C-alpha cells in the first residue's frame, strides 16, 4: 500500500490515484480490451474473491484474539449482509488510515483507521466503501485495471474463468486498483450519501458520517486541492449534515 494514504484520505476519503500496474504476462490484448468494458458482475465478484486471498496473504491480518479484531467484531455485530451481499470483515494491522470493500463482500479495515476514529465514524467509513461497490464504482476501477493489463498482453477467458486465468501478482494488482482507486467528486458524494442510508438502515448513528469527515479535516486539513476534483472533507461534512436534516 502507498505511504501517501493519509494525505489522500483528507481530500478523497480513502482514495488515492490509480496506478498503471505491471500485471505480468497475459495473452490477446485485443480480447482483453474488449473484456475490460464487458466484465460481468460475476467476473468482478470472482476476481474480487481471488484478490481477497492474495491481499490477505500480503498483509498482516489481525487474529480473532487481537484487540482490533474484537473491537471490529463487536462494532459490526449483526451486520452479516448488505443489499444481498454477504459481508466478511477483517482487520489489517498497519498504521495506514484506510479501508476498502470489494464486490464479493470483502471488507478490510486498517488498524490505523481504528486508532483515529470511534466506532460510529468507522462504521461510516465501512458504509462508504460498501457504497463504492454497490454503486458500481469499484467495478469501473477493476475495468480500468483490466484495460491497463490489455495494454501489455491481455487476459484470455470468459465468465468466472477470468479469475482462474490470472496470476497471483495480477490479482494483487486488481485488488490495489480497488484500494487505490481515485473516484470522482460525484462518486465520493454518492458514496457518502449511500453510507448515511447504510447507517440508518442498520440502526447506527448517522452522525458518524459528518463526524468522520470533520475528523479528517482536523487531522489533515480541509484542502480540496490535494486531489483536484475531490471535495474537501469539511465541505462534505456540511453536505451530509444537510442530508441528515432532510431525512
**Is 5 within a domain?**
no
Range of the domain at 89: 17-245
**Is 24 within a domain?**
yes
- The share of the chain scoring above pLDDT 90, in percent, equals 51
HEC profile of 103-171: CCCEEEEEHHHHHHCCHHHHHHHHHHHHHHHHCCHHHHHHHHHHHHHHCCCCCCCCCCHHHHCCCHHHH
**Is 4 within a domain?**
no
Q: What is the pTM of this model?
A: 0.79
**Is 11 within a domain?**
no
Number of domains the chain contains: 1
Distance CA 185, CA 181 (A): 12
Instruction: For 138-184, write each residue's pLDDT tens digit.
Output: 888 888 777 766 545 444 444 445 555 667 777 777 777 777 777 88
Q: Once rounded to an integer, what is the mean pLDDT over residues 38-51?
A: 85
**Is 113 within a domain?**
yes
Please identify every residue annotated as catalytic: 129
Amino acid at each position: 500500500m502507498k505511504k501517501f494514504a493519509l494525505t489522500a484520505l483528507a481530500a478523497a476519503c480513502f482514495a488515492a490515484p490509480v496506478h498503471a500496474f505491471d500485471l505480468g504476462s497475459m495473452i490477446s490484448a485485443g480480447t482483453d480490451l474488449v473484456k475490460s468494458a464487458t466484465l460481468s458482475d460475476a467476473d468482478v465478484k470472482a476476481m474480487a474473491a481471488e484478490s481477497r486471498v492474495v491481499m490477505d496473504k500480503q498483509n498482516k491480518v489481525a487474529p480473532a484474539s487481537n484487540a482490533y479484531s474484537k473491537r471490529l467484531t463487536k462494532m459490526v455485530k449483526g451486520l452479516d449482509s448488505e443489499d444481498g451481499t454477504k459481508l466478511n470483515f477483517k482487520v489489517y494491522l498497519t498504521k495506514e488510515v484506510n479501508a476498502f470493500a470489494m464486490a464479493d463482500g470483502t471488507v478490510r479495515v486498517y488498524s490505523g483507521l481504528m486508532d483515529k476514529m470511534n466506532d460510529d465514524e468507522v462504521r461510516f467509513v465501512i458504509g462508504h466503501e460498501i457504497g463504492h461497490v454497490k454503486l458500481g464504482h469499484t467495478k469501473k476501477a477493476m475495468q480500468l485495471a483490466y484495460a491497463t493489463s490489455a495494454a501489455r498482453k491481455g487476459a484470455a477467458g470468459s465468465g468466472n474463468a477470468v479469475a482462474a486465468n490470472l496470476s497471483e501478482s495480477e490479482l494483487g494488482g486488481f485488488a490495489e486498483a480497488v484500494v487505490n482507486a481515485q473516484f470522482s467528486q460525484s462518486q465520493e458524494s454518492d458514496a457518502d450519501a449511500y453510507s448515511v442510508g447504510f447507517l440508518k438502515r442498520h440502526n447506527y448513528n448517522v452522525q458518524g458520517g459528518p463526524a468522520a469527515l470533520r475528523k479528517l479535516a482536523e487531522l489533515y486539513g480541509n484542502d480540496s486541492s490535494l486531489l483536484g476534483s475531490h471535495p474537501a472533507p469539511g465541505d462534505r461534512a456540511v453536505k451530509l449534515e444537510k442530508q441528515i436534516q432532510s431525512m
